Structure 1
């Protein structure tokens, strides 16, 4: 075989590796984006003092200022027949705001709004595998189009919310980081609401379990990441925890939460476990990445040695490097790497 044929063979073998690698990177791009955005979000929230936020408190409202947010109350449900368990919460908010217009958005209303005002999003809206994703998404579009106050059905109003209408966009601070989307206020065509609806298509991702998929594609973590990445945070006001009332109910709390969360599945428990054991989980992920990188390095090195051995055999006869010996050596290296975690665990166990 001449050198031209050997060169063609080398390119063929390279493409056999590069094409699957490229496809793998394309597949992993979304998950890499999620990981980097989440890391930045945790970093951003972890190193911010209380004074770094624009707080949605009465003291921030200028005397005599005109409200920016219209007197509208928005809620969503699959149809017009609201379950009895949510009627008390609904009534509490309506009674405290007698001059407000109230709108219960059904699934039919939601799809009609998207189809008529935002047809570019209709395909994505219909593609969501979980109904809660559509319930999350529609609240952003409603606030962008009409403005007003959005409340989840399990939220009881304790006080009148008029003063909150003087801010451009309001969302409550939540645990462990970020903001929640169960209570939101926005002026019509808010810049941040526009960012939310535009980013929904980009973040239409599947993360293997329902809880994570919902949280990052349309839910609170989606909104938290968009907040962290948003350049004009001075236009966003955060409702303090003591006024939010979700984690500790005080006399200052504007709301009482009945804690519906009916869409949470058993997978939510695992996500919450990850949050409570963040350092352990991060260590496991780091170990996995190091192991994957080591395996990839050994694989690529093995392929390079085998390729050089094949070229030597084809160009020089039987004097080339025997691939079988290299393969055996590579397998031995991988077995050794695989045995390392067990050996480390056994040693640490013996020392306990």
Structure 2
């Protein structure tokens, strides 16, 4: 058996140490990015929808209609975005949801509209020229898709649903549209204290969506130095972290001591009555896969990490011990 030369053990230790630091950095990056979510309870300032209608203190549909105008309804249009008209190229566990939305909602007078990359580019070029440079400069297609959905709903109003979001009930969805709110979002799946952008609805010209678009442009030119990983950078510049950050700013600027006319679906009591989410994660790179594994299975991830570190240290100890034994043997023979 060939034993490592002097310094081989140190190199191995350095490698193990570097890998350990990388794991710590990945986990730290996820927590650092989520600090934008954990600064206070955002939902205390929003309309939390746990039934429709209800008078339980969270939301009162009659009062909202009076405050914000009973005709301030969200249009019966469902918008989805894909590269081309061929949604079958979208990969998800249950297949793209486009036909599901059409089959369930079109009989009730809804329009289900699919936007392609060319459609989105034309919309931004003609209606949002101030966003065009941001849209074109993004490094990832998912960032353009994130910006596109906000622009589409702001321009036309209606409902946005990712192709891995599936409808469950027309009546419950329509009821949310008629609450008199300017915008309603699904909650984030982790922590349940942020706003997600895989499903949301808004009136045409929603002030909050305009605010979010402006925030997306700002973040595109001044990225956070704390968010190093591509996955987290996407979330922070255009995804749920950006939307949640925009909501916090919007709440702070417009705080009048009452809940604003922006709603969020209660995860347990109402979101599941409106939609199902297959969580395709088709755009995630290795960093996103790892961070979602940690988020989905935190205990298992820690145990696996600790186990791997113990095994690695055991290997280092064994190699170093064999190396020193051999050196002693060689020195003894030399004498």
Smaller-chain TM-score range? 0.5 to 0.7
Post-superposition Cα deviations, 1:99-147, rounded to whole Å, max 9, x if no partner, equal 1122111011111100001111111100001000000000111111111
1:195: which partner in 2?
Answer: 211
1:43: which partner in 2?
Answer: 39
Mapped pair 1:228 → 2:248: yes
Mapped pair 1:165 → 2:177: yes
Post-superposition Cα deviations, 1:152-192, rounded to whole Å, max 9, x if no partner, equal 00111110021121221000122213111000100011110
In the alignment, the residues of structure 1 paired with residue 277 and residue 37 of structure 2 have an alpha-carbon distance, to the nearest angstrom, of: 26
1:265: which partner in 2?
Answer: 285
Q: Larger % of helix: which?
A: 1
Mapped pair 1:140 → 2:150: yes
1:238: which partner in 2?
Answer: 264
Moved more, 199-208 or 126-135: 199-208
Q: 1:53 to 1:118 in 2, by over 3 A?
A: closer
In the alignment, the residues of structure 2 paired with residue 87 and residue 69 of structure 1 have an alpha-carbon distance, to the nearest angstrom, of: 27
SS at 2:39 equivalent: helix
In the alignment, the residues of structure 2 paired with residue 200 and residue 135 of structure 1 have an alpha-carbon distance, to the nearest angstrom, of: 12
Mapped pair 1:127 → 2:147: no
Q: 1:261 to 1:192 in 2, by over 3 A?
A: same
Q: Is the 8 A contact 1:70 1:148 kept in 2?
A: yes
Q: 1:190 to 1:37 in 2, by over 3 A?
A: farther
Mapped pair 1:95 → 2:103: yes
The higher relative CO (CA closer than 8 Å, separation ≥ 6) is in 2
Mapped pair 1:55 → 2:51: no
Residue 230 (structure 1) shift: 1.6
SS at 1:256 equivalent: strand
In the alignment, the residues of structure 2 paired with residue 87 and residue 265 of structure 1 have an alpha-carbon distance, to the nearest angstrom, of: 21
Moved more, 74-83 or 206-215: 206-215
TM-score by length of 1: 0.60
Post-superposition Cα deviations, 1:16-52, rounded to whole Å, max 9, x if no partner, equal xxxxxxxxxxxxxxxxxxx99964641213xx6x765
Which ranges of structure 2 fall in alignment gaps of 5 or more residues?
Answer: 1-30, 54-59, 299-335
Which ranges of structure 1 fall in alignment gaps of 5 or more residues?
Answer: 1-34, 246-252, 278-352
2:276: which partner in 1?
Answer: 256
TM-score by length of 2: 0.63
Q: Is the 8 A contact 2:142 2:283 kept in 1?
A: yes
In the alignment, the residues of structure 1 paired with residue 123 and residue 72 of structure 2 have an alpha-carbon distance, to the nearest angstrom, of: 26
Residue 53 (structure 1) shift: 3.9
Moved more, 223-232 or 127-136: 223-232
In the alignment, the residues of structure 1 paired with residue 153 and residue 79 of structure 2 have an alpha-carbon distance, to the nearest angstrom, of: 9
Q: 1:78 to 1:58 in 2, by over 3 A?
A: same
SS at 2:169 equivalent: coil
In the alignment, the residues of structure 1 paired with residue 164 and residue 174 of structure 2 have an alpha-carbon distance, to the nearest angstrom, of: 20
For residues 101-116 of structure 1, the aligned pairs below 5 Å read: 101-116=111-126
1:154: which partner in 2?
Answer: 164
Alignment RMSD (CA, Å): 2.9
